Structures are given as C-alpha cells and as structure tokens.
Structure 1
Amino acid sequence: MDRLPQELIKHIASFIEREEDQSHIGILQRKKLRSKLPPYATLSRAWQLAIETRTFGKLRIKSTELPYVTQVVTGHRRGFIANIQYQVILPGYPDHYCAKFETEKDQERNNQAFTYAIHILFQFLKGLEDGDGVVTKSVALDLYDIYSPMDKFHRGEEKLQEDERQVELGKRYDLWEHRYERSILQLLDHSALPVLSRVSGFQLTSMAYRHVEPRSAILIAAKCPRLQSVDVSVNDNEKKDRDVRERARHNLATALPTLSTASLRDFTFSFYHEDPSNQYFSPPSALLPLAEVALPADHLSRALHTLSQSINLTSFTLNPIVISPALYWPSDTSGADPPHWPSLRHHHVEFNMTAPTGMWYFVRDTNRPIYEDEAANDSDDPEESASDTDSEPLSEDSLRPDSYAPRREARATGDYPIRSFRTLPDDAPMDPLLLAMARAAKQMPRLQTMSLTSTMRDPDGAGFEVHFYGPGEHTHFDTEIGGVDATRLIWAVGKWRPSEEVLSKWRVGKEGVKVKFWEFE
C-alpha cells in the first residue's frame, strides 16, 4: 500500500465516510458521533497525510476549543486548512434566568465574550499566515453560530424536553428566545484585530436568535482585504425602538465603505425585516431625522449602490432588504458621471413591501377580499393585561420571572392581527423604483441576469417579480418569446402593468429585449 502514489492513496481515502450518515435524522436528535477517519491516519505516513488533508481541510471550531486547536494545528497541518466554521460560545447563565430578560450587564458580558472570541480567532488565523514557513491556502471563514449553552436549542435534548414539559404543566417560567431577542452583539475595539491576507471568503449568519450588530459584521469582514466573496445575513427587525433601528441602519451604511473591494467578486447581503402582518399598520421611517444628517437620504441604499459598482464585482445579491430607488440610481447623480457597473453580470434584489420612509410599495386590490385572521379579536385579551416587566423593581438575582405578552407586543408593532390585502403595486412609490432599475441596467454592459422580487405574496401564492435574462441564460419561465437566444424581460406581476416610461427605458437600454407578461396559474 505504501508503494502507491500519494494522490492515489488520497483518492482511496476520499471514499471513507467521515461519520455515520444522519441526514434523515432531525438536528436535535442527531448524535455527536466520533469521526471514522482518524484511525486510518495511523496506517502509515502516506495515509496520515491523506487523512489529515480531509480532517484539517475543513474545521468546525468552538471558540472555547480554540486554545486546544492551536496546539494541534501545527507544522504541515497548517497548509491543509481551507475552510473554518466557527461557533462563538457566550457565557452561560443560571437556570432561573431563563425567565428573565437580559440586562445591560448581561449584554455587556456577552459583547466582551463575542469580542474575545473574534480576537482569538483572528490571532489564530494570523499565526497560520506567519508560521513555520508553511505555505497556507486561502481560507473561507464562516461565523455560523453564536449561542450560550443555556439558550433554548443548546440545552441538550433531554433538558429541553423536560423544560418544555414543565412549562406546559405551569411549573416553570421560561422566556425562551425572547430573553435575548433585543440583545445585539457588538464587536469592541475592532481596530485591534490583525489584518488577514489569506482569508478569501467571509460568511456570517445572524438571523435566528443571537443577533450581531450589522456594523460589527462588516467591520470584521473589512479586516480581510483580499476577500473574493462576502455573504452576510444580519437583522433589521427592531420594531419597538425606532431610534435603535435608525442608528443601526445608518451605522451599517457608514461601515460598508471600509470593506475592501479590490478583489471582491461575489457580494451577498441579507438585512432581514419582517413586513407587518396587519397591513393597516403605518410603519415608522427607518431613516435618521434631518436634525442628525445633512441630507434626508437613504444612506444604506446609497452605500450599497456604490459597493455594487466595484470594479471586479460580478455578482451582487440582496435578499431580503428594505430599499429605495437610490439602490439603483441616487437622485443627485444628474450632472455628474453616470453610475457604471463595469464587471457586473448578475444583480438580484428581493425587497420588502415597505420603503425606508415607512411607505408601502403595495395597496389593496379592490377586486380581492381582505384576508383576516378570524381568531383575532380586538377586544380585551387576558394575555395582554400583563406588562412587559413586573410592576415592582426587581433585583438581578430575583427569582421572580419577568412577564411577556407576545400578542400585545405584536399588536404594538403591527404584527397582530393578521390583515392581509396589499397585493397591488402602488404606482407612486413603485414607478421610481422600476425606472431607477431600468436606468441602472443600461449601465451594466456585461449584465446576464437581473431580478427585482418582493416579499409580497397574495393568498394564491403569487408575488411581484421582474426578471431580465441575457442571451443563453435559461429560465423557469415560459420562453416562447424567443427562447434562450433572445434577450428577455419577464414580468410576473399579475394583472398589473408598469408604465410605458418604464418599458421604454428597458427597450432603449437593452436593444432587442423581448417583453413578456407572465401570470401565475
């Protein structure tokens, strides 16, 4: 066996399963099985290299385990690392704290733990770049989970089931994820992070329960100046405190220019916001007031507009996000050189039903009934008589639980009751958005695909979708308008139609484009 070429041994080793297949088993029921690979590394030096290429090629590391990993990843093993999935472990908390909202002291402690976890990770990665003369690969970094061991889905299967049973019996109080739903993790002292030259991919997911401040997510990525791909998902769903949302959005806009774009090819960004379920609700503006900014502008859409024109960027995806026409074409560009997207081939945006100003992009179609949750009742609800917090001041060590009235909370933010009727595009805000999109497409000489879709879904499941396909691009829509050899603009917008001005912009901007209106069946 040792006489076989190294590449052949490596190929044979690739057929060995890392662990038993558990793809058919629910995540919470999966057992943490030991890897089946390590024993094969003891067969010979050649087999050790073949197995370690796999075991160290993709590392899943908890921040609490990083000191041990640093001791193990030495010598030639440094050169095998191509992907790191990193879990940030936050401090635990006593069991009775599960029934209490996080305090400012809790949030401060979590910020410090998060910051420390990021700093030791960057020090580890910097050590890979600088150590032992070993040539290291480009590394894709994925910050894919952040949690405390006492958070709902990390307590362990048996404890979680027992806690849920005790709650049902009325013997336990638990806020579950509501305990920390408004706690935003911030990176402290980002300037002290070392610059990493071999990180080529950065991914951060923060849409579940533990949320990372959007600005902090970008500042982490900005410390990797040779990124080729960025995929960040952060939260824009603060609905109780208007000021918090306004500042988070504006701070994100100011952080985006710090991201190095010289080598960036692929940018994907999700800024999750949940549209109000009660569509009679008037959402507040997400923009900073005039007293704090020089111009009444949507600074985030403008910052993303600038980033999308990066010289080597080929793919730009926003999904989903609250946007304005400034994403495509800011209103103050007249007289200056027009925007230009020199390398962009794919531009895709999913936008929310509301604009940054709070205006709805959709109105009621009077030919359709209003969908209303029959269970909703505007009369007094016993659940809503409780307050967010107890009326008496509580010490941090008190065993008395905080109260939470989810229905009243949802009513105050427009998420209850469910009243859905906005399925028809409103020409007043929609027309400027579509005109800006058409103008931008004209300035994208290499454009192959482009789309603008909405989070809106009518009761039949149909939505609002605009798709552009260049020649040779396949589509799941009907291609009878010329097939894949044609340049196509497909409108899946029900019976509504855009203005002739919008269509003429497309025809002038993309010569020979064939327009088709496609209706969901």
Structure 2
Amino acid sequence: MNKIPPEILLNIVDGLDAPLARYASVSRAFRQVIEARTFANIQLTSTEQSLTKFDAIFSNTRRRYFVRELEYKVELPDISKKRFKKLQSNREAAENNRVYTVAVSALFTRLQKWTDATEDLEKAPSFRLTISSSSPKDSYRPESPHQHEHDPAWEVRNSFKYIEFNELEVLPPLLCVNEFDHSGRSLHPNVMAVINKALPRMKSLLWELFTAPRRLEALRADLRASMASVLADTEFSNLEALDIYYEDTDPLNQDWEPENLLDANGDDPLSLAVNRISRLPKLRLLELRGTHILSPAVFDVDGENRDAWRFLEYLYLDVSKTTPGGGWYFTGDREKTMTSDERIESDSEASVAAFDSDDSDASDFLPDFRWRKLDGDIPWVDFRLHPDPITLNPFLIAMARAIVRMPALKRFACGFTDAADIYYYGPGVEKSGPMTIDKSNFFDSALSHGRWIMDFETEIPFNDEDPLFSDWVLPPELTETLEAAGHRIFLTRGYRHVHRCQPGC
C-alpha cells in the first residue's frame, strides 16, 4: 500500500464513505492522504468546546500543514424574538464588541504558536483564514404582527452598528495566514486595521464594508476616513491581490449636494490611499467594487517616474458619479427631466408603537419616506447623464497618464453607474465576453496595441434625442497621451454616435 502513487490513493479516498478517519489505520501512506483530505478545510466556532477540540486535534503539529482553509465563526450573543423587532441597542453593541474581541484574540493566540518553533518560514503552515460573526437570530425572520406597507425594523436592525475591538489595539502576528476575508456582521475599519497588521504574510485580502446612509453623516465620514487610514498605514508588504467591496449608492435625487470629503489641505485621503496601495511592489490585482467616491488623485503620478506601477496587472474601479469635493462628474439638462411626486408618499402610522420604542410586543417599521429623503433618494430626479468637462475631464486625463505607466497591465475597467463604462486591454490580451461586430472588429485589428473601449451612452432617449451634449468630446490631453503610447480607442458617444479613433483621428 505504501508504494501506491498518491494520485491513486486520492482516487480511492474519493470513493470511500464518510467518516474517513476509520480508514487511517490501513497504512501510513493511506493515513497521510486521509488526513490531508480531512484537515484541508477546518470549520471552527468560538465556543469553549470547539476551541478545546481544535487544540487537541492540532496538538499534532504535522496536521497543521494539511490545513488550506480555516473558517472561524464567532458566535455573538443571542437576543429574544421580541427584541429582534427593534434596532440594535448600544448595550447590545457593547456586548457584541466584547464577545468578538475575546473570540478573535483567542484564535490569534492559538495560531501564533503554529509557527513559534518553525525555523524556515517558507515551509511553515500556510492557509486562508475566514472569520464570520453572527448571532443565532440573524437568520430569524418573524411574521409582522400587523400588515404594513413599510419594511420592518428587523430588516436593518444591525446595519448601523459596526463591531469594534474592546480596547484591543494589537493582535499576535500570524505567519501562517496567506489569505483573509470576513463575513457576517459589519466590522469597523479599525478592526480591519488591527487584523491586517497581524497578518504580515497575507497575499490576498477580501474586504467588505457596508457604509452608513447619508442621514448618518458623521458615522459615514468616520467609516470612510478610517478605511483610508487602513490603506495608507498598513504595510501590506506581501499583498498580491486586494478586493474591496464598498456598499454604497449614488443619490437618486440628482439635485442633491453631495458631502465634501476633502481634508483641510483640499486632498482626498481615500483616493491618495488607494493610489499608494496600487503601487505596492507585489500587488498584481486591485479591485474596488460597489460605489467608491474617488478623485483624480487615485491616478497621481510622480513626475517622470515611469516605474510607479511596474507590477500591477489588473485594475478595476466602480466609481461614484459624485466627487469627493461635493460635486458631480456628470451633468445634464435639469429642465427636461421628470421628477417623482413625493406627495404620494407618507410615513403616517409607520408603526403601531412609536419608532424605536421600548414596546417589544409590536414590530417597529422603518420611516421609509423620511429616511429616504434624508438619504438623498426622494424626490427621484435623474438627469446627470452627460460628462461634465470641469470635473470629469481631469479624472479621465489623470487616468490615461497613469495607465500608460503600467507596463504589466493586462486589464483595466472603470465604471460610472448608468453613465459610462471604460475598458482597457493590454497588447495581445484577448477580449472577454461578447462584443458588437464593430467593437470586435476594432479589437481584433489592433491586437498588438493597447486598446480602449469607452462607452458614454445611456438608455434610449425620448424623441430620438442625443442623450449627450453635442459639444462634449474626449479631452485632447487624453487622446494625445494615449496616441504617444501607441494605444487605440473605440469611443461610443451617445446612443447613435459610434466613432473609431486611431492616433490622429
């Protein structure tokens, strides 16, 4: 049995019925294959019983090398079904913070010992760590005691509370973790700062942040500023892939005046932090999904330094139509747009009990109309479909100047919701996904060049009108920069205006 190739043993193990542990005594080689399969994906909870069992299993140091993914579930305190109908209280939040702090600290203290006696770190255990957090009631869906047109409060009871560490500023460093992500309850960026600094060998990070709505202005600003600090101050010396999902939306009321997010020097800390991250020497992929409010500073270049982004291969940005300075990247004809009639909406009798009251026998219902108005979503006003040359052109020019300084770049995508999609493919990179015949022909004919597909188009306009201002064109500085680099551009400008742009067009 010990002479059978591992590939054959794996096929044999795949055909066995669980539990596999009972077959481990067949031979030493068979035991190693079974242990490699058994311990590849470990699921662990923060209960004392689960942690004690974990300690016993992995007191055998040889088993630690089989782990490829460790899923750690932090069990937060349960709540009553009555209390579930209310928004999370400050007392509940404080207890959640305490439990989460103890649980994460317990895990990191254990895992640090996995590499204490390892002389060669390249041969140390290495795996993906996922930390989730939830209470038993997080999946509970009660029946509302009264029919009501508004959403019940339990839909968002935990949404505006972010878990924070309870007086914990440093965690033991883990040299065995190469990937990290989290799920469940929302974490404050300050928590991510402590965790990230404790994972010096991390190569891949998936970070999800569900931001606060605009009516909670101070909390919203704090979350964004804290996120910028994490990206600006964490070393990330081994990071190769960073994927950030930032849950946010643009205001549906496009008469809305966005918040000003610039600091006292007129800079946007988040855009500067993203710029810094994009230049990390080992970073290959940077993906910002969701809706990110970014300025041209995200593409800042250092004078004649042409090696700023020497290694970046994939860059994807989902950008808000609002600017960090409190403006918009797009404009339009406000007089021609339709506006929803807000008078038909009301919050009258939003709940049998007063909203967020102590009466737990009745569900609270969300004051949808008032909240949506404070969030900039009522009235619905949609007219910002046209590039604003004052704000958007500097962004596009900075983008072009940065991309031509990314010699390893294979794919770039930048999207503005319902307004523009910009794609770049490096020389020789094949297209991904279906394209129109015109785009496909352009793409294939310029395969040896960097190729841009820029779509500035909207839904089919009323009365066959051009949805874009007729006098808007790509800024000359952009086309000159790309021409000098030998790039090609396919521009869709408006519903019926398709232009194929080569150098000199």
TM range, smaller chain: 0.7 to 0.9
Instruction: Specify the SS of the correspondent of 1:122.
Output: helix
Deviation at 1:189, TM superposition (A): 4.0
Distance 2:380 2:4 in 1: 67
State the match for 2:429 in structure 1. 473
State the match for 1:298 in structure 2. 268
Residue 322 of structure 1 aligns with an amino acid whose one-letter code is: I
Percent of pairs with identical residues: 25
Distance 1:498 1:6 in 2: 59
Q: 1:285 aligns with which of 241, 244, 260?
A: 260
Deviation at 1:190, TM superposition (A): 4.2
Q: 1:363 aligns with which of 320, 331, 336?
A: 331
Instruction: Specify the SS of the correspondent of 2:391.
Output: helix
Deviation at 1:220, TM superposition (A): 0.8
State the match for 2:480 in structure 1. 504
| 1:342/1:189 CA distance change after superposition, 3 Å | farther
State the match for 2:491 in structure 1. 517
Deviation at 1:273, TM superposition (A): 1.4
Distance 1:350 1:204 in 2: 21
State the match for 1:48 in structure 2. 31
Distance 2:348 2:200 in 1: 50
Distance 2:226 2:91 in 1: 23
Deviation at 1:282, TM superposition (A): 2.4
Deviation at 1:436, TM superposition (A): 1.0
Deviation at 1:84, TM superposition (A): 1.4
State the match for 2:396 in structure 1. 434
Instruction: Give the structure-2-normalised TM-score.
Output: 0.82
Q: 1:243 aligns with which of 201, 212, 218?
A: 218
State the match for 1:444 in structure 2. 406
| 1:517/1:191 CA distance change after superposition, 3 Å | same
Deviation at 1:133, TM superposition (A): 9.4
Distance 1:224 1:73 in 2: 20
Deviation at 1:310, TM superposition (A): 1.1
Q: 2:41 aligns with which of 58, 71, 87?
A: 58
Deviation at 1:264, TM superposition (A): 1.8
* Contact in 2 for aligned 1:85/1:141 (Cα 8 Å): yes
* Contact in 1 for aligned 2:114/2:176 (Cα 8 Å): no
- Superposed CA deviations along residues 427-453 of structure 1, whole A, max 9, x for unmatched, are 221111111111112322222222211
Instruction: Give the structure-1-normalised TM-score.
Output: 0.80
Distance 1:132 1:485 in 2: 48
Deviation at 1:226, TM superposition (A): 1.4
Root mean square deviation, CA, Å = 3.3
Deviation at 1:146, TM superposition (A): 2.1
State the match for 2:157 in structure 1. 179
Q: How does 1:21-420 map to 2 (within 5 A)?
A: 37-38=20-21, 40-41=23-24, 45-64=28-47, 65-75=50-60, 76-130=62-116, 136-143=124-131, 145-151=132-138, 153=139, 155=140, 160=141, 163-164=142-143, 166-167=144-145, 175-205=153-183, 210-287=185-262, 290=264, 295-320=265-290, 321-329=292-300, 340-364=308-332, 370=338, 377-379=342-344, 381=346, 383-384=347-348, 386=350, 390=354, 402=364, 404-420=366-382
Residue 128 of structure 2 aligns with an amino acid whose one-letter code is: A
- Superposed CA deviations along residues 462-516 of structure 1, whole A, max 9, x for unmatched, are x5111111111112442322243332111122266422222112222x2x21111
- Superposed CA deviations along residues 371-412 of structure 1, whole A, max 9, x for unmatched, are x66xx642562x346599948x966x9656555312321122
State the match for 2:502 in structure 1. none
* Contact in 2 for aligned 1:315/1:344 (Cα 8 Å): yes
Residue 8 of structure 2 aligns with an amino acid whose one-letter code is: L
Q: Which runs of 5+ in 1 are unaligned?
A: 18-34, 458-462
- Superposed CA deviations along residues 328-384 of structure 1, whole A, max 9, x for unmatched, are 117xx66x96781121122221111212223222223679864x66xx642562x34
Distance 1:36 1:420 in 2: 59
State the match for 1:20 in structure 2. none
Instruction: Specify the SS of the correspondent of 1:489.
Output: strand
* Contact in 1 for aligned 2:446/2:488 (Cα 8 Å): no
* Contact in 1 for aligned 2:337/2:381 (Cα 8 Å): no
* Contact in 2 for aligned 1:16/1:37 (Cα 8 Å): yes
Aligned residues: 467
| 1:67/1:434 CA distance change after superposition, 3 Å | farther
